[in-house]
Amino acid sequence: MAGKREEARDNGRGVVISDDWPGYHLDLFTYPQHYYGDLNRVLIPHGVIVDRTEKLAKDIMNDIGYCDIIVLCVLKGGYKFCADLVENLKNISRNSDTFVSMKVDFIRLKSYQNDQALGDMQIVGGDDFSELAGKNVLIVEDVVGTGRTMKSLLGKIKKYKPNMIKVASLLVKRTPRSDGFQPDYTGFEIPDLFVVGYALDYNEYFRDLNHICVISEQGKEKYRV
């Protein structure tokens, strides 16, 4: 990405976007016009997300090897990242001599209302992880903020003794509230901003936005519940 950016090679933090990164002006990209005035800027364009996801898939395959995987997609914000990541993993498998079986399951977590984190993680839907026993599990998440939500989920899954658990997150926020949790695979490390788009939502809005953008105060008020 253009502009100031820290070197991210081999540090496990992904593409590191600095606090003073101005992003891109909205007029440089297409986006749904019903969100006019609801966004401040484009933080990560869709094309950059696509390229970074392809590289993450290669890193995952190189790391865990060609073994059968259960992908646990964290809904709802993780569905686009998960779909793109799994497609890249399948492409690597198809072009290799070893077939990798991938089963995708889903878990829905609720940890935000408006732009505020809830006190406790809420599991909405299937929380029976017994089928993960002895399996190789890849959890795919959209955003890691404080890390408490993911640590809580990992604690529940580990009780069923999977063979391996890895976590891939599209975004990790730099926040003083972090408990230090770091995913195994990170797409982008970003400032402590509330971002939307690429299936990340604000009260169920902005999922239809392809780019990852910073929501404006007008947008927060418009869609507040």
Q: What is the pLDDT of residues 41-98, one digit of tens each?
A: 999 999 999 999 999 999 999 888 778 899 999 988 899 999 999 999 999 988 887 7
- Report the helix count and the strand count for the chain, using DSSP H and E: 4, 10
pLDDT, position 131? 87
pLDDT digits (tens, 9 = 90+) for 204-218: 999 999 999 999 999
pLDDT, position 73? 93
pLDDT, position 119? 53
**Torsion angle of the four alpha carbons 86, 88, 90, 92, in this order, in degrees rounded to the nearest 10:** -150
Provide the mean pLDDT of the chain.
87
pLDDT digits (tens, 9 = 90+) for 5-33: 444 455 678 999 999 999 999 999 999 99
**Span 181-202, average pLDDT:** 95
| Residue 213 forms part of a structural domain | yes
| Residue 160 forms part of a structural domain | yes
**Quick one: pLDDT band at residue 118, thresholds 50, 70, 90?**
low
pTM: 0.87
| Residue 1 forms part of a structural domain | no
| Residue 72 forms part of a structural domain | yes
Q: Is residue 155 predicted with pLDDT exceeding 60? A: yes
Which run of H or E residues covers position 151? helix 148-158
Question: Can the peptide bond before residue 76 be classed as cis, meaning omega within 30 degrees of 0?
Answer: yes
Residues listed for the chain: 225
| Residue 5 forms part of a structural domain | no
**Quick check: 204 and 225 in contact, CB under 8 A?**
no
pLDDT, position 122? 63
pLDDT, position 165? 95
| Residue 136 forms part of a structural domain | yes
**Span 189-208, average pLDDT:** 95
DSSP conformational letter for 13: S
Count how many domains the chain has: 1
Q: Please give the structure tokens belonging to residue 133.
A: 């026993």
Q: Please give the structure tokens belonging to residue 142.
A: 């959209």
A 10 A CB-CB count for 215 gives 24
Query: Which CATH number is 144's domain given?
Result: 3.40.50.2020
**Quick one: pLDDT band at residue 134, thresholds 50, 70, 90?**
very high
pLDDT, position 114? 53
| Residue 9 forms part of a structural domain | no
**Quick one: pLDDT band at residue 4, thresholds 50, 70, 90?**
very low
State whether residue 46 is helix, strand or coil. helix
pLDDT, position 35? 95
| Residue 4 forms part of a structural domain | no
* Domain carrying residue 207: 15-222
Q: What percent of the chain has pLDDT over 90?
A: 64
pLDDT, position 75? 87
Q: Is the dihedral of CA 137, 138, 142, 147 positive or negative?
A: positive
